[in-house]
């Protein structure tokens, strides 16, 4: 029986969102004494941690074929946010900074934002998470 790479098996209760390709490998950034360049990419993880998001809720995947990174933030109420720089399908002609995409998943539906500013999208993820754990 082939079990696969242990890094591809998330902790119990976590389901890989469909927006993360199956070919993407899980990056075990929490177990690295000094996270590699992939985990430090755009300081997404640092921003989320600084905003108070629990490290156990942040998952990262990397597609070695396309070079795309995927950061997944999960919340208990069925909400999740997937931030990626793998946006080639949205780019016909590239001028200026590379665009980023965030997919916000909730029991009510999905909304996607495409923006050139990774900082704006990181802030949107922090807001999304704050709304999910705030007063109801």
Give the C-alpha separation, 72 to 81, whole Å: 6
Task: Delimit the domains of the chain by residue range.
Answer: 6-133
Q: What pLDDT does residue 34 have?
A: 55
What is the residue-level pLDDT of the chain in tens, covering all 136 positions? 223 344 444 455 567 888 899 999 998 888 765 556 777 888 899 999 999 999 999 999 999 888 889 999 998 888 899 999 888 765 555 565 678 999 999 888 888 898 889 999 999 999 988 887 765 4
Q: pTM for the complete prediction?
A: 0.79
Give the C-alpha separation, 136 to 127, whole Å: 15
Give the C-alpha separation, 79 to 45, whole Å: 18
Q: In what order do the strands lie in the sheet with 100-106?
A: 25-27, 58-63, 68-74, 80-84, 100-106, 109-115
């Amino acid at each position: 029986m082939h079990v696969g790479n242990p890094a591809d098996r998330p902790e119990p209760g976590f389901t890989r969102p469909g927006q993360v390709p199956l070919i993407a490998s899980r990056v075990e950034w929490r177990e690295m004494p000094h996270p590699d360049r992939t985990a430090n990419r755009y300081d997404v993880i640092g921003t989320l941690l600084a905003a108070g998001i629990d490290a156990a809720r942040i998952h990262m995947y990397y597609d070695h074929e396309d070079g795309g990174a995927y950061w997944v933030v999960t919340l208990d109420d069925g909400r999740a946010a997937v931030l990626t720089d793998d946006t080639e399908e949205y780019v016909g002609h590239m001028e200026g900074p590379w665009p980023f995409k965030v997919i916000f998943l909730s029991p009510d539906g999905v909304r996607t934002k495409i923006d050139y500013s990774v900082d704006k999208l990181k802030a949107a993820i922090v807001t999304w998470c704050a709304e999910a754990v705030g007063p109801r």
